[in-house]
Structure 1
Amino acid sequence: MASYHLFHDFNVRTSKFKEFYRYRKSFLHYCAIIFVVIFLVFNLFSFDSNNSEYENEEHSNIIAPEPNLRMKLPFITTPSPPLIPYNYKKLPSCQLSIDSPNPLHDAEAIMNEFNKCASMLLLRFSMNPQGMLFNWPYTIYVCDEEDLTSKIPVRSFDNGEKQYWAILPNCQEKTTLVTLGASDNTKSEDTLKNLLDDFETFGTDPFRGKNSAYGKFYQVALSTDDNKLQLANVYDKFSDKNYVATMNQYTFFNQTVGEKKIDMLWITPNSGNFEYEKYLNKDGEFAKMGIVVCQVNIEITKNDADRWFKLINPLVDEKRFIFMRPIATEGGELIRTYLLNVSDPMCIRKYLQ
């Protein structure tokens, strides 16, 4: 009996050991699988990141003509307030060094109202540049409907192909428009020119040799240096060219334009490699050059989410610009937005007071 019990105990211990061994082996096996999966996922993301950086670097000197895309509002925004007939000749001369005794709009209150609205809306995209750009037309338009913002007399300048927005000056002074990537359709520019007597215009486009709507026009794309940009062979009418001429972005604004206040800046994809995300912020290149920009119409391609993200987040925190009238082309290839400077005294006095 004793020997039997000993044998029985041995078999039990052996069985338990084998069970424990199988469990330990299974546990180590699954741990190894998890480790391998994590390793592969990490390397996959690293590869995508490196590949993306490589692609961005490789294509940073390539430019393609902007396709002719019509706009389509994905929503209905609050309409602009009734606009009184505009007569530039009856306006007083601008006194931009002093505040108006009876300002039409409270710029500081507008900024606080907008910031409260935009900060909450964009918080959900704090770590998601692609998501922020994709949802931009469907989220930020809500801030147009705030009480003070909705009273700003933003006027539409629709040329049938593109939608531009602007606030007309409340006093007489030279108004400067700079367009980076001008098109053949100049209805918007011509309408502004007919409304404003003292209207100075600068235009660039790498694919067009002249444009009658602009007093000074340059067949160039803006770039970080003076090297030519390679042309992406997308459209047949441009297929005979391999490169387009460029102008250094700093040289263009600081010397070619040479104005310390740009009233209206229109930026399209045909602008070239203009680093708008480095120019419009509080400590950006415009500030370093002593240049003030009052109004901006900007077009962003769906592939420009990272640059848009780098621009928008600081602008919200700095409380300098409000963003209005977001719009998307029908296929979502381009997102367009109007930016209004509500922090610079000269812009406030000319357009809001």
Structure 2
Amino acid sequence: MLKLGNNVTYYGADPIPYINGDLYSQIGTYFPLAIGGKSGISNARVMEKYGYIETNMIHIDIIYFFKEILNITTIDNLWFDAEGEEFGNDFFDIFYEDGRFDQNKIDVCQINIEFWKQFVNLSRKCDEESQISKLGLIEVENMDEQKTVILPKNEDQNHNLITLGIGQDTSAEERYQKKMQKLGKIVDFFGADPMVELNSEIYSRIGKYFPFAVARHAGFSNASIQKNDQNVAHVDILYFFKQILDVEKIDNLWIDAEGAEYELFEIFEKNGVLDQNDIVVCQANMEIHISEAEGHLNPNFEKQKIFMDFVKKIITEKKYGIFRASEEFHMRIYLFNFESEYCRNKY
């Protein structure tokens, strides 16, 4: 900015004065405070001299901080790394249209928030502490990612795998098929993708291909297909499972719906639409798209909030476990159904 002849006023807040106070005071004004969605006292994870510690922390409401302490309503750049605080206290609500920023006439031009990294790190820490390696998780690769699966432990010979969003790549399905064949197992593959080009040819080699999109509700809408927006017909996922495939037990469900996955979150809820129709999903791999463009250039805060609420609900209900979170442009998670006796016995 100096090279452009522009002056920048810096304000930095962190509840740990150690090093932060000296460092930030060299460039701007330092405040020994924690900033959150609401004022109050809560348990927080903070960096001390010898690493992270859990401690009680006083949080200052971000609106109060901007308006009353800094006396500013226009912010050029907001960088927020709150060690997990961004997940709580309705923090994401402030960015919504007609949210608290809008209500208080606060304009924020550019924002960087540590969201994905926090979730991935915390999730991986839980994986390690829970010793999930004992579950027998393995990974099968396709061209740009990995799918997580648990191979069956019982004598059942018949299995299925449903792919929603093929993406012109079946290498992971083919690797899974080979592993199952070595165990003497037969897998029925069902794949749906509205992009017929190549998907029809490659998926038909291993299973049945369906040239349409599968969503929570049937309809007709604009969707992203191979980075191009097109009008697409959607088939209701319940109709797809019950009427077209005629399945009640789904061993593996792989979802890469190019943004349409958000409305599918509810199928994993306890007493949700699948439970009401006695449909069981044992394992699921899901890719969640958070940005409006590749590389996190335009993070969608409403989507972040939806994903956060989904994670909270999954954890609270204790039906599924969430494992192997990873992030590279998009978030990828693996779910296993611990509530189902069928799934526990099979895997």
Asked whether the two chains share a fold, i.e. TM above 0.5, the reply is: yes
Structure 2 matches for 1:1-353, cutoff 5 A? Answer: 125-126=87-88, 127-128=90-91, 133=116, 135-173=118-156, 174-196=158-180, 197-209=185-197, 210=200, 211-231=203-223, 235=227, 242-270=230-258, 272=260, 275-302=263-290, 303=300, 304-329=303-328, 333-351=329-347
Give the TM-score normalised by the residue count of structure 2.
Answer: 0.59
> Structure 1 residues 164, 189: CA separation in 2 closer, same or farther (over 3 Å shift)?
same
Q: Which amino acid aligns with 1:326?
A: A
Cα distance in 2 for residues equivalent to 1:227 and 1:131: 35
**Alpha-carbon contact 1:156-1:165 (below 8 Å) kept:** yes
CA RMSD of aligned residues (A): 3.0
Deviation string, structure 1 residues 214-273 (Cα, Å, up to 9, x no partner): 4221111123443322245984xx57xx42232122211221222111111111134846
| Identity level (%) | 26
Instruction: Report deviation, 1:124.
Output: 6.8
Instruction: Report deviation, 1:213.
Output: 4.7
**Alpha-carbon contact 1:204-1:271 (below 8 Å) kept:** no
> Structure 1 residues 271, 180: CA separation in 2 closer, same or farther (over 3 Å shift)?
farther
**Alpha-carbon contact 1:125-1:131 (below 8 Å) kept:** no
**Alpha-carbon contact 2:192-2:210 (below 8 Å) kept:** yes
Deviation string, structure 1 residues 305-333 (Cα, Å, up to 9, x no partner): 2332232111111112111111111xxx3
Cα distance in 2 for residues equivalent to 1:339 and 1:166: 9
Query: Which range moved further: 215-224 or 318-327?
Result: 215-224
Cα distance in 1 for residues equivalent to 2:261 and 2:309: 15
Query: Which range moved further: 139-148 or 218-227?
Result: 218-227
**Alpha-carbon contact 1:203-1:214 (below 8 Å) kept:** no
Structure 1 or 2: larger helix share?
1
Deviation string, structure 1 residues 11-60 (Cα, Å, up to 9, x no partner): xxxxxxxxxxxxxxxxxxxxxxx9xx79xx9xx9xxxxxxxxxxxxxxxx
Any idea what SS the aligned residue of 2:204 has?
A: coil
> Structure 1 residues 347, 226: CA separation in 2 closer, same or farther (over 3 Å shift)?
closer
Cα distance in 2 for residues equivalent to 1:305 and 1:350: 34
**Alpha-carbon contact 2:216-2:264 (below 8 Å) kept:** no
Query: Which range moved further: 215-224 or 195-204?
Result: 215-224
Deviation string, structure 1 residues 42-89 (Cα, Å, up to 9, x no partner): xx9xxxxxxxxxxxxxxxxxxxxxxxxxxxxxxxxxxxxxxxxxxxxx
> Structure 1 residues 124, 227: CA separation in 2 closer, same or farther (over 3 Å shift)?
closer
Cα distance in 1 for residues equivalent to 2:206 and 2:221: 23
Q: Which residue pairs with 2:99 in the alignment?
A: none
Instruction: Report deviation, 1:190.
Output: 0.7
**Alpha-carbon contact 1:205-1:270 (below 8 Å) kept:** no
Cα distance in 2 for residues equivalent to 1:195 and 1:327: 23
**Alpha-carbon contact 1:222-1:273 (below 8 Å) kept:** no
**Alpha-carbon contact 2:215-2:234 (below 8 Å) kept:** yes
**Alpha-carbon contact 2:267-2:273 (below 8 Å) kept:** yes
Any idea what SS the aligned residue of 1:228 has?
A: strand
Any idea what SS the aligned residue of 2:268 has?
A: coil
**Alpha-carbon contact 2:321-2:338 (below 8 Å) kept:** yes
Q: Which amino acid aligns with 1:125?
A: F
Unaligned runs of 5+ in 1: 1-33, 45-120
Q: Which amino acid aligns with 2:309?
A: K
Give the TM-score normalised by the residue count of structure 1.
Answer: 0.58
> Structure 1 residues 145, 306: CA separation in 2 closer, same or farther (over 3 Å shift)?
same
Instruction: Report deviation, 1:343.
Output: 1.9
**Alpha-carbon contact 2:195-2:225 (below 8 Å) kept:** no
Q: Which amino acid aligns with 1:346?
A: Y
> Structure 1 residues 216, 270: CA separation in 2 closer, same or farther (over 3 Å shift)?
farther
Cα distance in 2 for residues equivalent to 1:334 and 1:171: 34
Instruction: Report deviation, 1:128.
Output: 4.3
Instruction: Report deviation, 1:163.
Output: 1.0
Instruction: Report deviation, 1:290.
Output: 0.6
> Structure 1 residues 296, 231: CA separation in 2 closer, same or farther (over 3 Å shift)?
closer
The structure having more radius of gyration, on CA atoms, is 1
